[in-house]
Chains A and B, each alone.
Chain A
Amino acid sequence: MDFQYAPAPESRSVVDIRSSYGLFINGAFVDGRGESFKSVNPATEEALADIAAASAEDVDAAVRAARHAFDTVWGPMPGRERAKYLFRIARIIQERARELAVLESLDNGKPIRESRDVDVPLVAAHFFYYAGWADKLPYAGFGPDPKPLGVAAQVIPWNFPLLMLAWKIAPALAAGNTVVLKPAETTPLTALLFAEICQQAELPPGVVNIITGAGDTGRLLVEHAGVDKVAFTGSTEVGRAIARAAAGTRKRLTLELGGKAANIVFDDAALDQAVEGVVNGIFFNQGHVCCAGSRLLLQESVAEEFLESLKRRMASLRVGDPLDKNTDVGAINSSAQLARIRQLSQIGEDEGAERWSAPCELPSRGYWFAPTIFTGVTQAHRIAREEIFGPVLSVLTFRTPDEAVEKANNTPYGLSAGIWTEKGSRILHIADKLRAGVVWANTFNKFDPTSPFGGYKESGYGREGGRHGLEAYLEH
């Protein structure tokens, strides 16, 4: 039977997008001195707005505004007062949640179901959580009188634009730092709406500065001599360059970088649940997730049965309009990312892996990639080693638990991993052996402000979220 869904679009009229946006420096929007660029809706290729690009002078102005706010207002302010500003921000995010969700889906291409039910609620929760820490820092376990670092330079990626902003700004402000944040070039709009939220909350000028631009602007920001702390989420390649640039400066550094997570399914797993988990693990957010379960490790005895169920489930995924409430998989964020996904998928085929894509009709305009799996993948294949950052799953098999652990750990990354088995002692044993910062057992891609997130090895250092997330912003 063929089930048809009527279109169920979320109204985009809840959000007003201005034709152009400036930089948010010292509490006001100002013109950028760089060459402006356009932010594009990846589902339609339509330009959404003109975005200012920050020049070296603009970056300098933003850092000076942050320093001044740190020295005169935010640094000296009692924690209980800082807390109330953060609670205010959390509340305004809740009040304007739908507006933020629609804007996020327009600018990023992710399904409204995810921006509305995952991203934006987590953003509000994150500010709410860290608000409560602002006046309780001596209880955080980093000494009796922990001090803020000063000005934090923060550079975030395009996959969870507003959520990554929250992960960066909430703990920094709670700890008493001021920030200059640069959103990704392709997804600046929710950060700019957040700047308006700071104005509504009457956050003192200069405490939060948002500057837009491409990689050059980011480099100017993290290399600016006036910042005390650099926090970056993005690719391992750029993270490495930032670590090199910060060498010898004594700037504090936290990096949340790439991943190639193993999702391990044992033969005694609840297979239907595991199929759901594997689908969520790789196709959530179009696979634009650093902790995505992009390597599926199947125990040989159930591999065939599992793959059949997985393909059946993938065939029912609805790919298309991000603003449609029934959409499961939205648009690829940019043409550049689409090109990379296509290139690595082609390499997968060329190297001899077998490709299968869900039979789905893709819209004619915009950037799209059908949910895809590769079977017959070996550890030497590039699609088993490199982060694809798209809806592409590489399937490997194993016979024994030891082999599963060895394969799972055979990567320079170490961000996350998944375990599917009904045997509790096995979960705990395997979780101990996996070199990864987050281990999801019989679930995947769960996030919470109280739960620290971050990687081992080349997935970066430092943790975001939870009590541990404060450490990155405190002198101790």
Chain B
Amino acid sequence: MSTESPARLAVRKTYKLYIGGAFPRSESGRSYQVHSASGAFLANAALGSRKDARDAVKAARAAVGKWSGATAYNRGQVLYRVAEVLEGRHEQFVSEVKAAEGGSRKEAAAQVDAAIDRWVWYAGWSDKIAQIHGGANPVAGPYFNLSAPEPTGVVAVVAPAGSSLLGLVSVIAPAIVTGNTVVVVASTDKPLPAISLTEVLATSDLPGGVVNVLTGKVAEIAPWLASHLDVNAIDLTGVTDDTLAKDLEVAAAENLKRVIRPADPDWNADPGVSRMLALLEIKTVWHPKGV
């Protein structure tokens, strides 16, 4: 009998969904195999279903009041906290992004750096967007008149198919910084960084339900989100099939969801404010002046 102990067996992670601050398996009990850019088996991810999508919308709706009602200062601090926690897990995300997207470790590290910096950038917007996008209107009469932006509500997001972390962060952060809550369909082929990101979100004081992440097939899950009457907006950034995108837009018209469909975004470019503005409503309040 040998006295040498065998090489230690690694403890693998089970990748699950993220709904309402918890990590459930798919209600459907299904999973699918996720492979690296080079074709090696990485993990089994949950194959999300219609029921999962509906549960996620319910969780997102329940979170709207508290999150949109939080002070902008508070939301900014939470987003900054996400950056802090992500920085602490830098090496893990470099490995995951490299596995998902291929390329060199240096290239993956640049993606992770940019993703962390993007959280910081958006964190700072929380208490400024209302100042640059709202304000007093000089109406021709004795009235106080003020326009201010408000979150549109629950936003369904089809995350970019290719950019598994930086692209993902670039679509989540501008939606939630202003008080929206999101249901994200992660990249089908590269979902693991998204699930790991939810572990960061869950430990950054982000209330449960503000971000919900589903993994699975876009063509299966997205139509339920596009037609869901309790979803206010849909971001089709990650929909690569034009026919599916059109069908989703048609479904979204039923309750006049706001639709975002940018043409081939460059995630390394300055994001600008257009994503934030697309998910904001302007409310204008009038009151007479008098003694």
Contact = CB atoms under 8 A, between A and B. Distances in A.
A214 B92 CA distance: 62
B27 interface: no
A247 B249 contact: yes
Most buried by B among A257, A427, A437: A437
A244 interface: yes
Interface string A427-443: 10001001011111111
A239 B147 CA distance: 25
18 contacts: A141-B133, A240-B253, A248-B250, A250-B261, A257-B256, A438-B283, A438-B284, A441-B286, A443-B286, A446-B141, A446-B143, A448-B143, A450-B139, A451-B137, A452-B282, A458-B256, A463-B282, A468-B147
Given A443-B288, A466-B137, A468-B147, A240 B281 contact: no
A446 B277 CA distance: 25
B232 A247 contact: no
Contacts of B282: 437, 452, 454, 463, 468
Interface string B274-285: 100100011111
B66 to A, nearest CB: 14
Contact of B286 (A246, A250, A451, A456): A451
Contacts of B105: none
A450 B132 contact: no
Interface string B260-284: 0101000000001010010001111
B39 interface: no
The 7 closest A-B pairs by CB, nearest first: A248-B246, A247-B249, A243-B253, A448-B139, A450-B137, A247-B250, A441-B287
A347 B174 CA distance: 46
Contacts of A463: 282
Contacts of A456: 152, 281, 283
B138 A450 contact: yes
Nearest to B272: A143
A363 to B, nearest CB: 34
A255 interface: yes
Contact of B256 (A446, A452, A461, A476): A461
A199 interface: no
Interface string A462-473: 010010100100
A312 interface: no
B140 interface: yes
Nearest to B255: A458
Contacts of B242: 248
| B interface, over-half SS | mixed
A257 B256 CA distance: 10
Nearest to B277: A471
A243 B272 CA distance: 26
A448 B256 contact: no
A439 B285 CA distance: 5
Contacts of B130: none
B231 to A, nearest CB: 11
Contacts of A460: 256
B286 A453 contact: no
A243 B245 contact: no
Contacts of A80: none
B58 interface: no
Contacts of B252: 243, 247
B254 interface: yes
B284 A439 contact: yes
- For A143, A412, A441, A460, the residue with the greatest tally of chain B CB atoms inside 10 Å of its CB is A441
B44 interface: no
Contacts of B277: 471
Contact of B283 (A247, A437, A442, A461): A437
Nearest to A437: B283
A409 to B, nearest CB: 12
Contact of A439 (B137, B246, B286): B286
B36 interface: no
Contacts of B272: 143, 476
Nearest to B290: A442
B31 to A, nearest CB: 32
Contacts of B253: 240, 243-244, 247
Task: Select the residue from B255, B263, B286 with max chain A CB neighbours within 10 A.
Answer: B286
Given A141-B133, A451-B137, A443 B147 contact: no
B145 interface: yes
Contacts, number: 107
B246 to A, nearest CB: 3
Nearest to A441: B287
A125 interface: yes
Given A441-B285, A443-B287, A456-B152, A244 B250 contact: yes
Nearest to A436: B283
Contact of B284 (A125, A248, A453, A458): A453
A457 interface: yes
Given A255-B256, A448-B137, A448-B140, A476 B274 contact: yes
Interface string B218-260: 0000000000000010000000001001110110111110100
A236 interface: yes
Nearest to B133: A141
A257, A437, A451, A454 pick with most chain B CB within 10 angstroms: A451
Contacts of A442: 287-288
Interface string A235-272: 01001100110111010000101000000000000000
A452 B284 contact: yes
A304 B198 CA distance: 55
A454 B284 CA distance: 9
A246 B246 CA distance: 9
Contacts of A461: 256, 258
Interface in A203-256: 236, 239-240, 243-244, 246-248, 250, 255
A451 B145 contact: yes
Contact of A457 (B250, B255, B261, B274): B255
Contact of A243 (B139, B256, B284): B256
Given A243-B256, A452-B282, A466 B147 contact: yes
A246 B250 CA distance: 8
A321 to B, nearest CB: 29
Contacts of B133: 141
Interface string A406-447: 000000100000000000000100010010111111110010
Nearest to B145: A451
A464 to B, nearest CB: 11
Contact of B254 (A240, A427, A446): A240
Nearest to B288: A443
Contacts of A143: 272
